[in-house]
Structure 1
């Protein structure tokens, strides 16, 4: 993965100020200046820039923080009426009328994610996992989400977020008759700077193939129901590769392991770990990770009906449930135990009340 070191003389800020607390604007300006100098094009490509110019060159950290994210939608409920009420033309069925209200999908969600780490959003179906990913990736209607999302302490504007991020959907929309290499090269032609030479684009594609662990499948067609091709896990990794061809700072994924067997799912998350360790922030939703996948995660947020139940490292999850009075047995998968317990508690008013009262305990 390309890494560019900027010289001190090219920076408008002092060395001391830059090294002490680089702002997002300074970071991105350095990236833009160096990129333009190298490629002659302003099209975004993610480079890690050392703005201190010291001999001990280390990538500057990125921190994505989000505070008090809240999202509600208007809902229409059917309300039964006594039969002696006359039905208006607007009423859907005799004896029913409509009443409108709001339903909270996300309620006061806060947290942070760092480069070099994977943050997983978990919860039962309908808990708000995908909605939170969409909110962080700014894929919601403008103004519909309350709260703030910041990168290195500065608000993320929509235009900037599109430049430095990538979003991978659940569905793999690929051309079945192209090979893995052709698919990634096709993405490179369209998403990398026009001024970047074909040889450099090929180098980027080859580096990405190695990063995705697809070297043995380079010349294999994607395939479909009628044509044998790559495996399901390899397809998913190709889909990820298409979206990270430009080396984004932020990578959002909506259930990237959905529909995969345990081994393929593990390989996908292992690739995401390598992407994170190369300098990106990886945030994904996942339904029920295996024990091995849990070992690859750095942070997790557990949601229940749009609220944060637990936020912190996976290693602290047993302590949280022990404090709550439900220790996780050694023989149990932590996430399976947590999901089953959440569903059980959500099913009773007393359980829900106890659960919400414990929410503050889970924010480590």
Structure 2
């Protein structure tokens, strides 16, 4: 009993510490304008015309600590764009002034802000507890111990009502897990871990039933009343939800139609001549107005929008600007950006946490029953086809070695090629929040994949090697295994580079297939006399170097085989025409060439990833 009380007391102390870290944030935005350049392509993709489109047209407003702002408007009105700009995540042609306690966006503000995207970007194989604990270990300051971070994650789980499902996996499209509402609360919980003073959410009720949506908005309302500043986009809230919002911003085609108290919105539109003909949900009424629909059926939509924009400019715009400037002129207490490091944790802490998280998540994909069955079936089939072929069957053994080079060129390539396209959303989300360095993520990814990349080819070779009757000495087997694993790592690096450069699964697959097929054709088995004008391909071919090293693992120039032309019916392996063409010499050169590719492809992948997930602003 005493231990339980001590534990509860410790948890209360940790929660108190995190609450003390919270600082109130007054969010203001004045004359926010955002433009994008639209390029029109002509014949063969040639750019023939560039147009500039204005997405946000002078948005002004303020949200104070303890208030909850709802951004309303039809699809395409600019709600998400404005929210992204307020979160400091929007680059490009952004104009206007966005301040947090009178200061511009900074490292300290990034560390004090939570941003929840519309899509719940979560790892499907991790449990709720694992998801939040790993996030806590990465995002919370190094001044907190690991135990304190875990306790804080547990307290957030309790606060958001996730206790019943805390040991359930998140799940995904083809993996059953927690419900949609629970997934959304986990996403909110990831941001709540840092006890943000400013919390921004993009469509937190999208796709949820009314009861679940009510529960989530009620939770956010309680957080706001605790002193936080909360803003969210929401498409069509029920009347119960609408009256929970302190402030409402109504947008139509990027133009503001109203900003002010949620309780005053109906009176405002009634005073300018737009009142609902029948009692209705205020949110539905506002969306009708934003779409240009009014109770006066004779008024065309374009005229309605023009009248609302004019009324906003004459009745609200100047008043809002004076209020915003009044807030900015006040001295505000805030964090000194010079005293806040860019990263909450050290490189090694980030690497170790990401390594553990990566192994937990990817072991299910790498060792799925389907992949293991695929490898075993192909291994057994290969072993039976090449059953106990001896040195007299030189051509057959060469075919098996080239099959090794080809199969274990394609398989790891396509394993790795989907890595970064699939994790792009996660990388963008976590990198934009300043969770970790790109280098720590990349190195943890490389290291965590090593055992998963090497286990299956080792099993494959162990089965086929002895069934096919290749040289049975431990030295020859280990030599062949080393070459095969070396090739697997190089092919995996090529897959990572292609995936990072293209970041589109379909395009990356096509590019990878073309490149690997080119390497195979120039690998020295199908064509031995390659024309000089295209022979350069073999110098960049993974298959060619792998095939050459595999031949060296089984044959020596002095080895003999039975033939009809040699003296006594015996010929030297080194004189066998296909082997002579590839050559058994320059083994070191082949190993060095693959080593350069091993490093080079991963370096290309890292440089390509540097453009992902960094805040442009």
TM category (shorter chain) comes to 0.7 to 0.9
1:225 deviates by 4.0
Instruction: Indicate whether 1:47 and 2:24 are aligned.
Output: no
Q: Which residue of 2 aligns with 1:134?
A: 84
| TM alignment of 1:115-130, pairs within 5 A | 115-130=65-80
1:304 deviates by 0.8
CA contact (8 A) 2:99 2:105 kept: no
Distance 1:91 1:230, change over 3 A: closer
User: Structure 1 regions of 5+ residues with no counterpart?
Assistant: 5-44, 50-59, 78-89
Residue 236 of structure 2: which of 288, 298, 304 is its match?
288
Residue 92 of structure 1: which of 37, 40, 43 is its match?
43
Residue 65 of structure 1: which of 23, 28, 38 is its match?
28
CA contact (8 A) 2:291 2:301 kept: no
Q: Which residue of 2 aligns with 1:350?
A: 303
Instruction: Indicate whether 1:299 and 2:247 are aligned.
Output: yes
Instruction: Indicate whether 1:74 and 2:25 are aligned.
Output: no
Q: What SS is found at the alignment partner of 1:150?
A: strand
TM-score scaled by structure 1?
0.74
1:124 deviates by 0.6
**Structure with greater strand share of residues:** 1
1:210 deviates by 2.1
Instruction: Indicate whether 1:341 and 2:289 are aligned.
Output: yes
CA contact (8 A) 1:345 1:355 kept: no
C-alpha RMSD over aligned residues = 2.6
Q: What is the rounded CA distance, in whole Å, between the counterparts of 2:105 and 2:308 in structure 1?
A: 35
Q: What is the rounded CA distance, in whole Å, between the counterparts of 2:207 and 2:172 in structure 1?
A: 15
Instruction: Indicate whether 1:102 and 2:46 are aligned.
Output: no
User: Structure 2 regions of 5+ residues with no counterpart?
Assistant: 1-13, 295-299, 321-617
Distance 1:359 1:224, change over 3 A: same
CA-to-aligned-CA distance 1:126-168 (integer Å, 9 cap, x gap): 11001100111111116x211111222x222333332211211
CA-to-aligned-CA distance 1:232-281 (integer Å, 9 cap, x gap): 10110001111221111111111111111111111111121222223321
CA contact (8 A) 1:211 1:274 kept: no
1:221 deviates by 2.5
1:362 deviates by 5.2
Q: What is the rounded CA distance, in whole Å, between the counterparts of 1:289 and 1:231 in structure 2?
A: 20
Q: What is the rounded CA distance, in whole Å, between the counterparts of 1:170 and 1:314 in structure 2?
A: 23
Q: What is the rounded CA distance, in whole Å, between the counterparts of 2:305 and 2:194 in structure 1?
A: 44
CA-to-aligned-CA distance 1:60-97 (integer Å, 9 cap, x gap): 743111111111122346xxxxxxxxxxxx8439xxx9
| More divergent stretch after superposition (326-335 vs 200-209) | 326-335
Distance 1:61 1:243, change over 3 A: closer
Q: Which residue of 2 aligns with 1:145?
A: 94
1:227 deviates by 4.1
CA contact (8 A) 1:148 1:155 kept: no
Distance 1:113 1:277, change over 3 A: same
Q: What is the rounded CA distance, in whole Å, between the counterparts of 1:98 and 1:350 in structure 2?
A: 34
Q: What SS is found at the alignment partner of 1:273?
A: helix
Q: What is the rounded CA distance, in whole Å, between the counterparts of 2:188 and 2:51 in structure 1?
A: 39
Q: Which residue of 2 aligns with 1:37?
A: none
Count of residues paired in the alignment: 298
Q: Which residue of 2 aligns with 1:325?
A: 273
Q: What is the rounded CA distance, in whole Å, between the counterparts of 1:227 and 1:99 in structure 2?
A: 45
Q: Which residue of 2 aligns with 1:199?
A: 147
| More divergent stretch after superposition (97-106 vs 159-168) | 97-106
Q: Which residue of 2 aligns with 1:228?
A: 176
CA contact (8 A) 2:115 2:199 kept: yes
Q: Which residue of 1 aligns with 2:261?
A: 313
CA contact (8 A) 2:64 2:229 kept: yes
Q: What SS is found at the alignment partner of 1:236?
A: helix
Q: What is the rounded CA distance, in whole Å, between the counterparts of 1:260 and 1:223 in structure 2?
A: 17
Distance 1:202 1:330, change over 3 A: farther
Q: What is the rounded CA distance, in whole Å, between the counterparts of 2:135 and 2:304 in structure 1?
A: 49
| More divergent stretch after superposition (316-325 vs 353-362) | 353-362
Distance 1:194 1:61, change over 3 A: closer
| TM alignment of 1:270-281, pairs within 5 A | 270-281=218-229
Instruction: Indicate whether 1:165 and 2:91 are aligned.
Output: no
Q: What SS is found at the alignment partner of 1:108?
A: strand
Q: What is the rounded CA distance, in whole Å, between the counterparts of 1:128 and 1:226 in structure 2?
A: 32
Q: Which residue of 1 aligns with 2:571?
A: none
CA contact (8 A) 2:200 2:230 kept: yes
CA contact (8 A) 1:321 1:328 kept: no
